[in-house]
Amino acid sequence: MASQELRHLVSDHPRVMVVDGSKLVRKLIADVLARELPQVEVVPCESVAAARAALAGGVVDLVTTALVLPDGDGHAVARAVREAAGQSYVPVIVVSGSAQEELEQRRFTEDVTDYFDKSLGHGALAAFIRGYVQPEPIPGARVLYVEDSKVVALATKRMLERHKLQVLHFPGVEEALDHLEQHRVDPHGEGDPGADLVLTDVYLKGELSGRDLLERIRTGFGYGKRRLPVLVMTGDANRDNQSELLRAGANDLVLKPIEERLLVTKALFQLRVARLAGARPG
């Protein structure tokens, strides 16, 4: 089981923060989620300030937010989620009647992972959220996996392949970087980076560490968290060290010893976010 700071849609009671200025809307969404997804714990917030206070009190696993709020907007909520200490890269979904307009005008920031048209109704919203908290397999998705222990690599590779993921294993960062370089995406974002997700141990025997690989992907190649998600495996339970990896660009962390359900759930979520982002027009 993940730590309290880094649990991510894998606990028995994932926390969903619902941010909306209307008490009635918050109650409607909470009631629908309680009926359709009884394992979900709803954290209702009426404003950006309330959302920040909730984040200071503990991490969340998913956020829905209205676009217009009494003291700001949904973008401010999304930014607060990304800046919260110890908070992994979780879905932030804008629920709005003008979501399509925001999309067409390119006003959504990188902090927002998805959007939902509120005119579809709260029942449809519950089904939408279910896709995140109960992710379906994505057959053939490519995981670039960096691990120097043959025993660990074999066990982890089998875990991922049982869920129909394709694993590209490399024993060191240098080999992984060679692969990424061969598939470098052009400056306009056109092309295939050679993988759909990167999974790496933070500590490796070579000259370069998993942290170095993360830094190269984010700054050297310029791939953002949705362009090429990165999961980092670590045995370090220190919250400050974990937060530093997240600030450096890791989408999420997997604590060792690795538990299969935890690893697969995190991987499938990040793949889903990346594919939704890539499927959007514009």
Residues 105 and 35 in one domain: yes
Residues 211 and 120 in one domain: no
Candidate from 38-52, 62-76, 96-110, 157-171 with smallest mean pLDDT:
96-110
Which residue segment(s) compose the domain that 194 sits in?
A: 142-279
pLDDT band at 279 (very low <50, low <70, confident <90, very high): very low
Query: How many C-beta atoms lie closer than 10 Å to residue 257's C-beta?
Result: 7
Candidate from 35-39, 49-53, 66-70 with smallest mean pLDDT:
35-39
pLDDT band at 12 (very low <50, low <70, confident <90, very high): low
What's the average model confidence in pLDDT over 207-225?
Answer: 96
Residues 64 and 108 in one domain: yes
Q: What percent of the chain has pLDDT over 70?
A: 90
- Domain's final residue, options 82, 111, 133: 133
183 vs 131, higher pLDDT: 183
Is pLDDT above 70 for 2?
A: no
Q: Write down the pLDDT at residue 8.
A: 44
Query: How many C-beta atoms lie closer than 10 Å to residue 21's C-beta?
Result: 15
Residues 159 and 102 in one domain: no
CATH of residue 174: 3.40.50.2300
CA distance 52 to 282: 31
Residues 102 and 180 in one domain: no
Average per-residue pLDDT for the chain? 86
Q: Within a domain: residue 209?
A: yes
Residues 84 and 174 in one domain: no
pLDDT band at 5 (very low <50, low <70, confident <90, very high): very low
Which of helix, strand or coil describes residue 98?
coil
Query: How many C-beta atoms lie closer than 10 Å to residue 237's C-beta?
Result: 12
Residues 221 and 262 in one domain: yes
pLDDT band at 104 (very low <50, low <70, confident <90, very high): low
Residues 76 and 117 in one domain: yes
Residues 275 and 169 in one domain: yes
Q: Please name every residue paired with 200 in a beta bridge, in sequence order, or none if there are none.
A: 146, 232
Kindly report the pTM of this predicted structure: 0.68
Residues 51 and 162 in one domain: no
Is pLDDT above 90 for 167?
A: yes
CA distance 57 to 147: 35
Domain count, the chain: 2
Q: Within a domain: residue 261?
A: yes
Residues 108 and 31 in one domain: yes
190 vs 192, higher pLDDT: 192
- Domain's final residue, options 102, 133, 164: 133
Which of helix, strand or coil describes residue 258?
coil
55 vs 90, higher pLDDT: 55
pLDDT band at 103 (very low <50, low <70, confident <90, very high): low
Residues 188 and 79 in one domain: no
pLDDT band at 280 (very low <50, low <70, confident <90, very high): very low
